[in-house]
Amino acid sequence: MQASKDINRLIEIMAALRNPETGCPWDIVQTFETIKPYTIEEAYEVADAIERNDPDDLCEELGDLLLQVVFHARIAEEAGLFSFGDVVEAITRKMIRRHPHVFAVSDAATAQAVKVQWDAIKAEEKAERSEKRRSRGVADEHHDGHLGTVQRSFPALTEAIKLQERAAKVGFDWSEAAPILDKIEEEIGELREALAEGRQEKITDELGDLIFALVNIGRHVGADPEQALRGTNTKFRRRFQYIERNLEASGETLDGASLERMEALWQAAKGK
């Protein structure tokens, strides 16, 4: 079998890998649940390639992510649920419906007007999905309420941002950043109290409240918390690698170096 730019070749390859008699032993036994972590991982690797401005890696990682879509679709097709073609049809229908200013008639002529229109159409779709679930007798607790569209499967920081954004749409939000800083200080105080009491459950709860408040300030000042943290992670990697390189150059090791020695190198790395 040869490589191809035709999506059908990828679908054929996945079908061959999943063939119960002649396929790959690993691929054959996979399920939605077992490959779910890989799907999430591939999405993060796409984001990483974008952040590193590496088009070659981005091309490869997008392919890996596409493979995950084809993999899930193949498992679904084998179970008689839906096929890859159904996935494509669903997203094309959604894009056409959500862009009437492009594919039909609409007076949405600005970016803001398009966003308002988009949100209205999404609300219609949500209502239709809920009705469809009810007609099939499927419980819809996960989608109940104003916050129902925020998926619990999101990474925690992303979920926090989306919960706050949804609440803000109905006016449940701070009007400015300053009171959020006060809230952060309040949460730090409560975390200090929990630490003093030594109650692990309380400590975890207060730490969560503090992080939630930090996410809120990031949202208000236009600094995406996820990206801010990723930037800090990159900075931490760079500075720690500086420590490693300098210790190695001096014939020292991480295990053998004192905290004071590593801290001195850390401070030197900050000046680089």
In a domain, 238, yes or no: yes
Calpha distance 211→205 (Å, rounded): 10
Compute mean pLDDT per 10 residues along the chain, 272 residues long, and list them.
90 96 96 94 92 94 97 98 97 92 85 88 82 72 69 84 90 90 96 96 96 94 90 93 95 94 94 81
Q: Looking at 81, 96, 111, which one is the last position of a domain?
A: 96
In a domain, 63, yes or no: yes
Number of H helices, E strands in the chain: 12, 0
**Tokens matching residue 47:** 């984001």
Show the domain range for 77: 1-96
**Tokens matching residue 140:** 């819809």
So what's the pLDDT on residue 51?
86
In a domain, 163, yes or no: no
CB atoms within 10 A of CB 194: 19
The answer to whether residues 262 and 212 belong to one domain is no
In a domain, 145, yes or no: no
**Tokens matching residue 32:** 């939605």
In a domain, 192, yes or no: yes
Q: What total number of domains does the chain contain?
A: 4
CA 183 to chain centre: 26
CB atoms within 10 A of CB 193: 13
With beta carbons less than 8 A apart as the criterion, state whether 86 and 70 touch: no
So what's the pLDDT on residue 139?
59
* Residue reference for tokens 């006016």: 171
The answer to whether residues 35 and 76 belong to one domain is yes
So what's the pLDDT on residue 140?
57
Contacts of 240 (CB under 8 A, 6+ apart): 266
The answer to whether residues 86 and 110 belong to one domain is no
In a domain, 70, yes or no: yes
The answer to whether residues 19 and 81 belong to one domain is yes
So what's the pLDDT on residue 18?
97
The answer to whether residues 120 and 194 belong to one domain is no
In a domain, 86, yes or no: yes
Say which CATH number the domain at 75 has: 1.10.287.1080
In a domain, 204, yes or no: yes
The answer to whether residues 83 and 105 belong to one domain is no
pTM over 0.75: no
**Tokens matching residue 129:** 């999905």
**Tokens matching residue 209:** 């409240």
